């Protein structure tokens, strides 16, 4: 019993350590935000941002292009594995405020 508990506890620590928050656009004053979990269906790149279409949401959401290729790797993995991301968005501008891979 102790071994099973230790295994589950260790697994939860590893999963929590793996989850990574990626900061997007700054939250605007009085912005209405919404949290959702969804996998990436497809995305495109412009010079300064990503336009992301999620599987269960009918609009493109915007994420700033900063910090190298880390976000691109997260988007590619979600698209390939259909693994959902946790997203906080500005409900009116569709700008992503934060994106978390491997949400619980």
Write out pLDDT tens, residues 12-55: 333 344 568 899 999 999 999 999 999 999 999 999 999 999 99
Cα Rg, the chain, nearest whole Å: 15
- Residue 13 maps to a domain: no
What is the residue range of 28's domain?
21-101
Q: How confident is the model at residue 8 (pLDDT cuts 50, 70, 90)?
A: very low
Q: Structural domain tally of the chain?
A: 1
40/26 Cα distance (integer angstroms): 22
- Residue 9 maps to a domain: no
> pLDDT, tens digit, for every residue of 59-81?
999 999 986 788 999 999 999 99
- Residue 14 maps to a domain: no
CATH of the domain at 28: 2.40.50.340
Residue 11 has pLDDT above 50, yes or no: no
């Amino acid at each position: 019993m102790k071994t099973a508990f230790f295994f589950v506890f260790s697994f939860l620590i590893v999963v929590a350590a793996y989850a990574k928050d990626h900061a997007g656009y700054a939250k605007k004053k009085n912005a209405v935000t919404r949290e959702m979990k969804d996998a990436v269906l497809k995305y495109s790149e412009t010079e300064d941002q990503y336009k992301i279409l999620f599987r269960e949401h009918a609009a493109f959401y915007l994420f700033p292009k900063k910090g190298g290729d880390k976000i691109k790797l997260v988007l590619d993995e979600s698209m390939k594995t259909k693994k959902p991301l946790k997203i906080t968005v500005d409900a009116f501008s569709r700008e992503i405020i934060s994106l978390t891979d491997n949400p619980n």
